[in-house]
Amino acid sequence: MHELSVTESILDIVCRHASEAGAQRVIRIHLVIGDLASIVDDSVQFYFDFMSEETCARGAELVFARISTRLECRACGHAWEPTSGDWACPNCAAMAARVVAGHEFYVDSIEVE
C-alpha cells in the first residue's frame, strides 16, 4: 500500500514543477519504474486519479516505463537479466551478483500546456 505515499510524492513533484514553469495544466507524466521497486502501476493510477482531481494534473495521462532487473557478477564481471529468480551467474555460476538496474523509480518527464 506504499503506492499511496508514492503517488502523493509524484503529484507534489509534478504540480511544483508545473507551477515553476508557469504551466496551466499537466497533460502527461512519464514515470520510470524498475521491476524491483515493487510499485503496482494500477494502484498508482487509481490513487493518482483520485488525488489529482483538484490539481493542475487532473486528467493527466500516466505513462509507465519499466526497467528490467539487471545484475553484474562480482566474481567475473558478466552482466545479465535474471530469469525465474535464479541469480547465479550464467557465465561462472558464482552467487555474487549485485543489482545494476531494477530499483529505479522517478518522474522522467512532464508534458504541460
CATH number of the domain residue 19 falls in: 3.30.2320.50
Instruction: Compute the mean pLDDT over every residue in the chain, rounded to the nearest whole number.
Output: 95
**Model confidence pLDDT, tens digit, residues 16-34:** 999 999 999 999 999 999 9
Q: Identity (one letter) of the amino acid at 8? A: E
CA distances from 28 to 23, 41, 56, 113 (A): 12, 15, 11, 10
Instruction: Answer whether residue 8 shows pLDDT above 80.
Output: yes
Q: What's the number of domains the chain is made of?
A: 1
In a domain? residue 95: no
In a domain? residue 79: no
In a domain? residue 43: yes
In a domain? residue 89: no
Average of pLDDT values for 79-90?
Answer: 90
Supply the pLDDT for residue 108. 97
Are 57 and 7 in contact, with CB atoms under 8 Å apart? no
Closest CA to 76 of 93, 60, 56: 93
In a domain? residue 96: no
Instruction: Note the pTM of the prediction, 2 decimals.
Output: 0.87
Average of pLDDT values for 68-95?
Answer: 94
Sheet of strand 105-112: strand arrangement: 61-67, 26-34, 105-112
In a domain? residue 19: yes
Assign 1 a pLDDT band (cuts: 50, 70, 90): low
In a domain? residue 62: yes
Q: Which domain holds residue 12?
A: 3-68+102-112
Instruction: Answer whether residue 14 shows pLDDT above 70.
Output: yes
In a domain? residue 97: no
